Amino acid sequence: MSGKPPFYLIKSAIAIIRKILKRETPSEGDHHEIPKDDPLWNLMRKCWAYMPLDRPPITEIAAESADLPGNLVKLSGNPTPLIEPVYNLLVANANLIRGLMRNKHQAYHIITRARDIVNYIIKLADAAAEETADDQMIAWERSYQMINSLEIVMLELAGIFLEEPRSFGVIALESWQKGRSTLLTIRDELYSPPFHVCQSTNDEDANQDALYDDCAWLALTVGEGIEQQLDERQKDYDSLSSDSERVVLERLRYLVSEVKMNNQLKIQDRESVIQVANSLATSLAQGQDVPGSLWQSAAS
């Protein structure tokens, strides 16, 4: 699912065998392309069980695979008629994110945060049943406010997901920053009033999600948008047209590795690297000659 083999960061076959003998399995941290909130991880762990008899049959795998988005937004209780419309929007968005090509970590975090808000509203209604009439009125007013606000956010999110490019290309490259910043804005909205009173089961820092998403996008841009395009022009590394091109490819490959392995690169610097990579990939995809100034800018 991530496009990489298990334990791909380990170069020694003997070291990989040792991990298997120790019953270790791949971790979310090594495969940032699959968000840690994706229910697919639970299914894969079942399939990686050390003893064959502990692994699920194909019928169970097929059934669970079909319901992965449903597992992501499973509620702690039954949605009331009042909250059912916004919950249906949440389920629809959960179905859409499986096909996203970028910003998946942010998208998954937004969906799980919205699910937690829905659970909070359900608990609020249940608790209000035991309160006085005045307290019930306050609880219902708060519920209405949160439902109405969440419906607006879910509709906005659905519009973004439906417009999200499903294939790598110029449109995806040019709209990367807009999609990224819009999702961050929506995420902030779900932690602001009236939702700020709701605790979340996923409190991971937003910058960490952005790091994983940026890393995956940078790797895709360099691999498919730059190196592949150069290969199609029958240019391999040894026959690149200028020293600047060689330097750029070397540094981009290095930065992909560095961004993935640690968080030392500042967010604004990381964004600048991706913008340059996007510009290079866009020029190549459009069949244009890349300006020497752009190669020089990337190399610096």
| CA-based nearest residue to 101, from 180, 205, 4 | 180
Mean pLDDT of 202-217: 77
pTM beyond 0.75: the answer is no
DSSP code string of 44-102: HHHHT-SSGGGSPPHHHHHHHHHTHHHHHT--SSPPPTTTHHHHHHHHHHHHHHTT-SS
Predicted pLDDT at 223: 81
Say whether pLDDT at 8 is over 80.
no
Q: Are 119 and 75 in contact (CB under 8 A)?
A: yes
Say whether pLDDT at 300 is over 70.
no
Q: What is the pLDDT of residues 144-197, one digit of tens each?
A: 899 999 999 999 999 998 888 888 889 999 899 888 889 989 999 999 999 988
Q: What is the pLDDT of residues 33-77, one digit of tens each?
A: 666 666 667 777 777 777 777 777 766 665 555 555 566 788 888
Q: Describe the chain by its helix, strand, coil percentages, rounded to 5.
A: 70, 0, 30
Q: Are 118 and 150 in contact (CB under 8 A)?
A: yes
Whole-number mean pLDDT of the chain?
Answer: 76
Mean pLDDT of 196-223: 79
Q: What is the pLDDT of residues 9-38, one digit of tens each?
A: 776 667 766 777 777 777 776 666 666 666
